[in-house]
Amino acid sequence: MKLAFVIDFLMQRGGAEWLLEVMHSLYPEADIFTLLYEPGETRAYFRDKKIIVPPLLKRLPLMKRHWRKYLPLFPFFMERFDFRGYDVVISLSFLFAKGIRVPPQTRHVCYCLTPMRQAWDEKQMEYRFISRFIWGMLRRWDVETANRPQKYIAISETVAARVKQRYKHDSTILYPPVDTAFFTAPDSEPLTPRGKEYFLVVSRLVPYKKVDLVVETFRNLPFNLKIVGSGRQENKLKKIAQDSGNMEFLGEVSPEKLRSLYYNCQAVICAQEEDFGIVAAEAQVCGKPVIAFARGGITEIITDKETGVLFREQSTASLSEAVHKTLATSFNPDIIREKSTARFSRNQFKEKLSVLLKQLIIP
């Protein structure tokens, strides 16, 4: 069986790239198709793999720095990948990947991370320089290509509901994996009911991640905050935090450093609406509670007042209340870890994926 993977972009070290790495390790001979690939910006795993990108895209002016301005062209290039000779194509789609065209004899399974968020949810729209008319065209394309995959897998019940609403298709739910072996390694620091005197954010520093809400909240709290990650909102966030004295921006850190930060924090904060919430799952494998906005896939990970605290409004008052509630709650780190490890292990994910694909690719 000749198999290929398709992902929108390979330009960062986020949850989608981790998910593709785990899936590809199950089928290491598979080719990978993507619109944009930056070896130095994404996970090292992909550097010796066969990555196929549209040659013309790389030659467009200032593509590396200003790729977002070319967003309306990407469906055109996605549709022109050639999948002749492949038996199965698996698309990991959060923008355009599910819209590929495959030959009639080729099976197309879409692992949907979310329907095109930027087109459907104006509150989270990051590309406001693109006109409403263009977004309308992209929404129509998104709907018109909904029948191209024969089967859908969704990363959460939340995403499955969106697929049903937008695409009129049912999905099989398969939660993404966490590297539980790494986060529970023998050299990990011991589980403790309370960490050191800081809370932790691990996120790309972009608008829809709502890190600005966390920073604004901690300006008025007597607690320390450490922020891991980078992104185009970094300078703005540092300006907001500069006079407070209780916030530290760490940038990108090594996996070992991240693990140590998880183990030693009071709690991890996720203020955005997540499709799944890989950071929350990692934190809980490390035995730490998570403070999270009570919408989206993250509500499928956290049990309120047992493995974390959910807050109902994206406001400084609501988040501040959740921080104080977390400090007043007695969490058992062993229970938090056991619940997460049982649900999100890498080996369990690969076993389920293998069985699921064998079922889905049978015509």
Q: CA-to-CA distance for 288 and 285, rounded, in angstroms?
A: 7
Mean pLDDT of 262-273: 95
Q: Is the pLDDT of residue 125 over 70?
A: no
Q: Which residues of 217-235 are buried (b: 16+ CB within 10 A; e: fewer)?
A: bbeebebbbbbbbbeebbe
Please answer whether residues 22 and 350 qualify as being in contact, where contact means their C-beta atoms are separated by less than 8 angstroms: yes
pLDDT in tens, 280-330: 999 999 999 999 999 999 999 999 999 999 999 999 999 999 999 999 999
For the chain, the average pLDDT equals 91
Q: Are residues 144 and 70 in the same domain?
A: yes
pLDDT in the model for residue 27:
93
| % of the chain with per-residue pLDDT over 70 | 94
Quick one: which H or E segment has residue 137?
helix 132-144
If asked whether residues 87 and 164 sit together in one domain, one would say yes
Residues 168 and 228 in one domain: no
- Whole-angstrom distance, CA of residue 284 vs CA of residue 112: 24
| pTM more than 0.95 | no
Q: Are residues 197 and 110 in the same domain?
A: no
pLDDT reported for residue 256 = 93
Q: pLDDT at residue 90 above 60?
A: yes
Which of these ranges, 15-29, 65-79, 266-280, has the smallest mean pLDDT? 65-79
CATH label of the domain that carries residue 331: 3.40.50.2000
**Are 46 and 21 spatial neighbours (Cβ–Cβ below 8 Å)?**
yes
pLDDT, residue 53, reads 94
Instruction: Please give the single-letter amino acid code of residue 126.
Output: E
Q: Indicate if 223 and 158 belong to the same structural domain.
A: no
172 lies in the same domain as 23? yes
285 and 256 within one domain: yes
Any idea what the CATH number is for the domain that residue 151 is in? 3.40.50
Q: What are the pLDDT digits (tens) for 4-26?
A: 999 999 988 888 999 999 999 99
SS3 334: helix
The residue segments making up the domain with residue 36 are: 3-177+345-360
Would you say the C-alpha torsion 282, 333, 210, 298 has a positive or negative sign? positive
